[in-house]
Structure 1
Amino acid sequence: MQIDAKLDESSRDSRRHLQFWQSPVLALLILVSGLALSFYLSSHFAKQSRERLQDRFQATVQQTTRVIQEKVDRFSLLMMAGRGLVLNNPSLNSAELNVRWHRMFDSFNVNYGDIGVVGLSFTRFIAAHSRETFIDEFNRNNSRKLTIFPPPADNQPSLVVMHLVPKSIEDRVLGYDIMSEEKRRQAVLETLRTGKMVLSRPLSLLPTDINSLDYLQMLPVRSVLSDGETHFLGVVTIGFSMSMLINSSLEDLPTPMRIQLIDTRESLETPGFDTHPDLGNTPPLLSMTRIITIGKHSLTLRISSLDPSAISAFSRHYDTATLMSGISITLMLTLISMFFIVTRQQALQLSRNMAAQAEEMYQRYESLFAQSPEAIVVHVNGKVELANQHAARLFGCGSPDELYQRDITELVHPTSIEFVERRREILSSGSPLEPAEQLLLRCNGQPFMAEVSSSLINYQGQEGIQVVFRDITAAKQQRLEHRMASTLFEHSADSIMVTDNRGKIEMANPSFQRLTGYSSKSVIGRTPDLLNAGHHSSEFFYKLWSSAKGNGFWRGDIVNRRKNGQLYIQETEIHSLRNETQDITHFVCFMRDVTQQRDGLEIDVSSTTAQQPSKLPNRLHFHASAESDLRRAKETNTPFEVGIIRIGHPSTPVDGTDKNHDQLERLSLVAQILESATNNIRVALLSDHELAIAKDGTASVCDGAQLRKYILKHLPPASESRTDITVAIARYPEDGCDLESLMLVAKNRADQA
């Protein structure tokens, strides 16, 4: 018997082994294994090919970027050479300096066209009151004749082109006033303010080239006077075409490339120059981003390959030859194995598959029904036959059993019963039903609103209706709250601006346009920098955003500029919004114009000292109020004056020492004397040795000399400030038409005094 048992066991093992080799499992194993191996090898070889292409492309991009960077680095050296020539030859007249200018730059043996340079020039600063004298003296001593163009305003200072390389275009631009064009003028003001090299915003130097992107790089030229003060002589400028520079860098490349240049001061995404604009904005497969620096500014280069063969190879995720060979071999082996199996097993396998599929469908439906996140009820002839656990919770029952054999109308609010009967008739006729909202009843009689979807099913040989319920009470409440929030946003008297977590504006209400002059559509996608009046330091904005991100809130005053150029003081509240993971997704900014309320604001400028000798308005409040006074002067056509009163020489920043405390006492004393002279003078603190004043021109003390005499007359006899007071006045409209120009003239006059 033991022998028979062993034989039976051996026979069963043999049958199982035979069934395995005669079953489709073997063919399936061959097919899956062969396909998996084919795809793996094909993907591996394609990945290696893409990595080689990526390495070659990256090397080309680095080489191209280095070539472009080396070219633009020469600009700074050329400009510093020009500044050195001007400063080292202060006694030369214009003609002799012009000869040395061309002799020096010609000796460099530089092909300016290869590095994209349009022109390298020196522009001299000429005050409005000395312009005619300068032109007459120049024309007497030079064979070249100077005419300033475009004709500047009588009260506007000029920056005039005097020397230019290449010489071939010097005569055409001799006398051109770069202050006449807004972008050049803004660059000049920035380089004067910072004293450093500045890159202008994109402008047109090559008007015949419609796809040209040109810039001016400027370096201020200041001479140091014997008393330590500096005197502004002019600006060394280099005009260059990024279009020419980039195109010349692409000429010697072995493969075609596309370069897009993005100036983030103009746009964070839109290229200012594109070597192939006809290709549109479709993202390339082979693309890299690099940064080039010009002075203190950065420009972004987006470089992509245009080599069709490289792009085609990089887009393939599988090596075609390897994949086709592997699939062919796999299919051949699979067909051979299936040839021996399918005849014997076809009928049996078909019946097993059908039974398995039926069982699987039943199990799947049962599992989905029980585990569905939606509440599901099946009723036949109006009686509940089946319900899941979610349905029991939705209707307030302890278990689905409490719903069984209930009439379906018991779960429907009386006001919805007619609607339910009508939908049942439509469904019974074979017409589909769209989901609908119905008022239902919980088991305790509490009504609630739900979205209902109904469909016909076969349940145990009978026609039944499967109903899916979804409680939408909370959703309707959310929609109501959303409508209320939208109404508050649209009709709020406060200006509201919403940005994403990177500071890009996504929404702005109508009050925003009334406050700033910008429509909501025009600011979408931009940043709040468009309102920046330039009166706050980067440290101020760093603390602002640090508080908004860290604490979720910031409140304070910001001096901003409207679309029409008008300055105003803005009371600001910033709130951060966070998602479920506590990551910041948006910032909501509430803004209000408080210029009139802040008109009398005083900021304690000596709060770091041991005592508090004075309180004076600061530079920000002065600019805001002076802009308002100048605007009124323009509207009423009355005189307006600004000035600088300098007491002593610059000292160290206010640090609480007795020396600085005494200096602030002197400033406070002079400010009190000025305010007692007339009610029409505004006084503000610029630095530890300078006061700014603004008056409407009708004050009893008019010019700088009278004002200085008045101050000296009222100073105590023993005051240390009696002998080192400088007063410089600039008048509207004779010396300028805007506050920046007037303050620049006053500062230059104070420097020259």
Structure 2
Amino acid sequence: MNPAQAPYHFQTALQPLLLQAFTQLANAVFITDTAGRIEWANHAFCALSGYEFDELLGRTPSLLSSGSEGPVFYAELWQKVLSGRVWHGQVIDKRKDGTLYAADETITPLRNEDGAISHFVAVQQDITQQLALDNTTRSKGRLEIWSRYPNRAAFLDLLSAAMSRASRSTAHTAVVRIALDGHPDLHGQLSVTGNTLLCAAADRLSNTVRQSDTLAHVGDAEFAILATGIDNRDIALALANKLQAALAAPFVVRGNRIVLQASIGIAMSPEDGAEAGALLCNADHALYQATLQGTNRCQFFERSFAHGPGGQLVSARTAQ
């Protein structure tokens, strides 16, 4: 099916001209329903993603997920657009052939005649080469973090092994998810200030956890801790309090005092998940709930989280 023949109708006398303009626009454009299912895409988006239109139709943008952004990132994105506001930011997506591309993306809610949100229009501009040229300050801090700490995939492997060992004893395993905030340079394309903050925060977290714990960098300004031998929630909460206290002291970057906030979500095995992927996902849900409560909050996972609005928002982009 040709994208120009897709069943999307502009409520205007200029429908043919507008459809032609959207179809031939140099920027990649796709339109989804409120559940995130793709209903229309132009030629530029098909070329950028590597997918034919028939392969995109009815799928969600999770098809493009590279794993570079964590569930909290997408939960906040969906929360914003579902409230009727425009979202703008940078994403790292994955083409059909597995290669990655960076896009400057804007998502705009569309309202019907009754004022209810009916669709979302996403416009992407490929900035892969631009970021490659402007990669010096961005990469130094990120590469330093990536080289010193496991990423999300490696963390899952370590978590799976730890849970397997724990299953042969009475020991519990906890996943502590941490999202940093308090300075705009921590998000998106990192500046020198953002790089310095991220590295300094990682050092404080690393120096705070026990030698038996594992710290991983799992998102832009997000970390995860694998804590073994956690017998109960009180011990896990004490660890979370220590982490927040460690981050509470101001950071001095280029002569400026910067105070960061740390939202924390905790999931414990076996009660919150008997498999590594489920336990990490539930820690993500707990973290998302903590961010909804304000700054410097800590939240344990509850079963209701995975089935409420937060769970739906996360899965709309990250579920495969």
TM-score range normalised by the length of the shorter chain: 0.3 to 0.5
Task: Output the TM-score relative to the length of structure 1.
Answer: 0.19
Relative contact order: is structure 1 or structure 2 higher (C-alpha 8 Å, sep ≥ 6)?
Answer: 2
Q: Which has the larger radius of gyration?
A: 1
